[in-house]
Amino acid sequence: MITDQRKRVALLVEDEFEDADVAGTSDLLRSAGVEVVIVGPLAGRTYRGRKSLEVESELAAGKAHAKDFDAVLIPGGHAPDRMRMRHAMIDLVRDTLAAGKPVAAIDRGAQLLISVKAVAGRTITCWPSIAIDIKNAGGRYVDRPVVEDGCVITARKADDVPHFAAAILKALGNLQPAS
């Protein structure tokens, strides 16, 4: 259970995540005082981005629980396709949504939203190549930098990280990054 006032966000990682989605978003959230916890399939393992970034997971997805976080962040790249095969990651996203807490997905991160059946009836933006998947899952695809639909926040690509992080901070209580 969350015990202090500091907001905690679970940042899901798997190999081949989009570097800018992870680094840029986590940096902006941390600058606003948010604790970003790197959650991977295994704790203490290094996961590699599509370019050069490497991050070490702090917590195994199987040990991560929605009650311990204020939001979940799903980066893009090719990692979401791998995350879809991880039951613990699917459960964490599904449980976070069920608790009415924000789930934010950028780029191909929306693939995980499809897997947890969180797309039907929602307006979603994402990487253009999966727009058809959003439509096939019952969502309404739009080409905008960021879309907020209930507790689901989506963004198109790494160029949209500043808008994406701002939307997450707003959902966490109108937090502001340090200037």
Q: Which domains does the chain have, with CATH numbers?
A: 8-171 (3.40.50.880)
From the list 111, 123, 54, the residue with the least C-alpha distance to 86 is 111
Q: What angle do CA 176, 159, 170 make, to 5 degrees?
A: 25
Beta carbons of 160 and 146 less than 8 angstroms apart: yes
pLDDT tens-digit profile of 98-108? 999 999 999 99
Per-residue pLDDT band at 174 (split at 50, 70, 90): confident
Q: What is the pLDDT of residues 18-30, one digit of tens each?
A: 999 999 999 999 9
pLDDT tens per residue, range 41-92:
999 999 999 999 999 999 999 999 999 999 999 999 999 999 999 999 999 9
- The pLDDT tens digits for 119-140 are 999 999 999 999 999 999 999 9
pLDDT for the residue numbered 175: 84
